[in-house]
Amino acid sequence: MFDLIINYVFMFFIFSAIGWAIECTYRSLGEKKIINSGFLYGPMCPIYGTGCLVFELILVPLSQPIEKRVIPVLLLGMVLADIVEYATSYIMEKLFNARWWDYSNNFLNLHGRICFKHTCYWAIFAFVYVYLIAPVYQYVLSFIPQNVRTIAVFVILAVLAVDLTLTVKAAADISKLMKKLKAFRATVSEKADLIKDTAENKYEELLVSKDMLTEVKQELSKQYSDILAGFKELTTKNKAANRLMNIYSSVRKAAEDTVKDIENIRNDIKAFFTDTEDKSE
């Protein structure tokens, strides 16, 4: 039983590394520069390792005879891979308060987490894995002694623990920023609605409460300055967090869009105060 677990973990690491190489090559060719597209620092994309492990445990036993099982393998492969990708996106978003990839603009997407194009890619990969890669992998694996696999797994686990700690810290920094941005956007929006509602219904009272509203304005300005400073710090000086935001551009875009929303609402409040001061003179 122990050896079986070791072999599955070993397999997870091997295909995570192969998936990382494929992903990096694909993105590097597309952007014409060398890119490390993995969530981790090391050469590993766990979603590929997880996908292959799921294929190995579920699809491979169902794949024979090949002449009768091709379509089921393709369809089930699509479903299983989509479940893995959707679940990974959902869990990472809940853990780190950020959307690490977003297919919202892609054809036939589900909540921006999976889409038709990538589903087709997964179907093809499921077929290739089951009928081509899996047999070759098992053949090559037979030449690697069990004790070598065991040692390799524990060495990789040790390195992975360090890598994961550093990466999770960077992701947590991004999560904290996103929470602050979203909370401040909600606060600014709430204050703006309150001020506008007061202006529409109780204009004279608004003039009487001018000092109080000025305090609100100053408070929001200070919070905005702090939030903006934190955003600049994270996106320029925090190299670990900046690396993740460069790889997962949807995270950076979400943060930048939130900052823009805050700026627009803040400008509306500024414009309102300017109009109010002009009318009160």
pLDDT tens-place string over residues 134-176: 999 999 999 999 999 999 999 999 999 999 998 888 888 888 8
pLDDT at 273: 62
The top-level CATH class assigned to 172-280 is mainly alpha
Q: At residue 208, does pLDDT exceed 50?
A: no
Q: Give me 250's structure tokens.
A: 């949807």
pLDDT at 268: 74
pLDDT at 28: 82
**Cα–Cα distances in angstroms (integers) from residue 150 to residues 144, 147, 158, 211, in the given order:** 10, 5, 13, 71
Give the separation between CA 269 and CA 188, rounded to whole angstroms: 9
Q: Where do the domains of the chain lie?
A: 2-144, 172-280
Give the separation between CA 271 and CA 201, rounded to whole angstroms: 18
Q: At residue 6, does pLDDT exceed 60?
A: yes
pLDDT in tens, 62-121: 877 776 778 888 889 899 999 999 999 999 888 887 777 889 888 889 989 999 998 998
The region of weakest confidence among 9-18, 207-216, 229-238 is 207-216
Is residue 84 within 8 Å of 51, Cβ to Cβ? yes
